[in-house]
Amino acid sequence: MTLLKIYHVILYVDDLKLFKSISSVDDCLIMQENLNKLNLWCNSNNLPLNVSKCNSISFTRKLNPIEYNFTVNNINLHKCLSFRDLGVLFDAKLNFIEHVNTIQKEAYRNLGFVIRNGRQFSEPNTLKTIFNAFVRSKLEYASIVWSPGYEVHSQALEKIQRKFVKYL
C-alpha cells in the first residue's frame, strides 16, 4: 500500500511529520485521508501508532484559520500551540519568542555555572573555552532556523555575552 497525495513528509529515526499547506476544507480532508492511510500501513506492518504521542499544529498568522480535528483510530489528535523538535521550540506563529526566552534562561543558568566554577582558572582562554562550550553553544544552536526576528531578542542574547566579557 502506498501513501497517495502526500505532499511533504519528514522522517527522522522514529519520528514522522506529515505536513501540507491548508487553504480549504478539501485540503484538510486530503490530510485526514493521508493520516488514515499511514495508520493502516503502520498497523499492517505491526508498527501501531501511539496516538497519545501524536499531535496536530497549524502554522499560520491568519486571524481566522481553518479549523479541523484530525483523527487517528477515531481519536482526535491533540492540538498543540508549540512543540520541540531537535532542540528548537516551534510555535504556531513561527516567531520563536518562546524559544528565545527558553534559551535565554538556559544560557543565564549556564553562565552562572561558568562564573561560579571558573573562579579557580586564571587563564582567560580557559574561561573562554568553557564559556563557548556551555553558554555560547546554547545561544547559537540552530540559530539559522530561529534567528531572532526582533531587536529586543538579539539584544537580550548579546547581553549574556557582554556579562561574560565583563566578568572576564
- Bridge partners of 85, per DSSP, are 88
Same domain, 63 and 101: no
pLDDT in tens, 6-59: 557 888 888 888 888 899 999 999 999 989 988 998 899 999 889 999 999 999
Q: In this predicted structure, what is the pLDDT of residue 10?
A: 84
Q: Residue 135: what pLDDT?
A: 96
- Alpha carbons 146 and 24: distance in angstroms, whole number: 28
Which residue carries 530561529 as its cell? 146
Ramachandran angles phi, psi of 14, nearest 5°: -110, 25
Q: How far apart are CA 61 and CA 127, in angstroms?
A: 43
Q: Are residues 38 and 103 in the same domain?
A: no
- Domain hosting 139: range is 89-167
DSSP state of 136: I
Nearest one of 75, 77, 78, 79 to 60, comparing CA atoms? 79
Mark which of 42, 57, 80 sits at the end of a domain: 80
- Predicted TM-score (pTM) of the model is 0.78
Per-residue pLDDT tens digits for 156-167: 999 999 999 999
Q: What is the pLDDT of residues 25-37, one digit of tens each?
A: 999 999 999 899 8
Does residue 66 lie in a domain region? Answer: yes
Residue where one domain finishes, among candidates 80, 110, 139: 80
Place of cell 532556523: 145
In the chain the beta strands, taken as DSSP E runs, fall at 8-12, 15-19, 55-56, 71-72, 75-76, 78-79, 82-85, 88-91
Examine the domain organization and report whether 75 and 95 are in the same domain.
no
